[in-house]
Structure 1
Amino acid sequence: MGDGVPRELISLADDEGNSVAVNVHGRNPRWTAGLDAEIVVKTPFVSGRIHLGLDVGRLKKWADTLDRLDAGEDAAWMKMSRGPSIVVQLTGERDCPEVAVEDVSGSMVTVRVPLVPPDDWIADHRRRLRLVMDHWVPMLSG
Structure 2
Amino acid sequence: MGDTVPRELISLADDEGNSVTVRIQGLSPTWSAGLDAEIVVRTPFVSGRVYLALYVAKLESWGVALNRLDGGEDVAWMEMNRGPSLSVHLTGERDCPEVVVEDESMSMVTVRVPLVPPDDWIEDHRRRLDQVMTHWVPMLSS
Specify the TM-score bucket, using the shorter chain as the normaliser. Answer: over 0.9
Q: CA deviation at 1:68?
A: 0.6
- Asked whether 1:30 is paired with 2:24, we answer no
> Which amino acid letter does the alignment assign opposite residue 22 of structure 1?
V
User: What is the SS of the residue equivalent to 1:68?
Assistant: helix
Find the aligned partners of 1:120 and 1:74 in 2 and give their Cα distance.
17
Q: Who is 1:80 aligned against?
A: 80
- Asked whether 1:53 is paired with 2:53, we answer yes
Find the aligned partners of 1:89 and 1:109 in 2 and give their Cα distance.
18
Percent of aligned positions with the same letter in both sequences?
Answer: 74
- Asked whether 1:43 is paired with 2:43, we answer yes
Find the aligned partners of 2:133 and 2:24 in 1 and give their Cα distance.
11
Q: Who is 1:117 aligned against?
A: 117
Find the aligned partners of 2:16 and 2:123 in 1 and give their Cα distance.
22
Find the aligned partners of 2:87 and 2:32 in 1 and give their Cα distance.
27
TM-score, normalised to structure 2, is: 0.98
Which structure 2 segments of 5+ residues have no match? Answer: none
Q: CA deviation at 1:3?
A: 6.0
User: What is the SS of the residue equivalent to 1:38?
Assistant: strand
Q: CA deviation at 1:108?
A: 0.7
Instruction: Give CA deviations for 1:17-70 in whole Å, capped at 9, x if unaligned.
Output: 000000001100000000000000000000000000000000000001101100
Q: Who is 1:90 aligned against?
A: 90
Q: Who is 2:138 aligned against?
A: 138
Which aligned runs of 4 or more in structure 1 are off by greater than 6 angstroms?
A: none
Q: Who is 2:10 aligned against?
A: 10
TM-score, normalised to structure 1, is: 0.98
User: What is the SS of the residue equivalent to 1:130?
Assistant: helix
User: What is the SS of the residue equivalent to 2:116?
Assistant: coil
Count of matched residue positions in the alignment of Structure 1 and Structure 2? 141
Q: CA deviation at 1:106?
A: 1.2
Q: Who is 1:70 aligned against?
A: 70
Which structure 1 segments of 5+ residues have no match? Answer: none
User: What is the SS of the residue equivalent to 2:101?
Assistant: strand
Instruction: Give CA deviations for 1:71-113 in whole Å, capped at 9, x if unaligned.
Output: 0000000000000000100000111000000001111100000
User: What is the SS of the residue equivalent to 1:134?
Assistant: helix
User: What is the SS of the residue equivalent to 1:106?
Assistant: coil
Find the aligned partners of 2:36 and 2:108 in 1 and give their Cα distance.
21
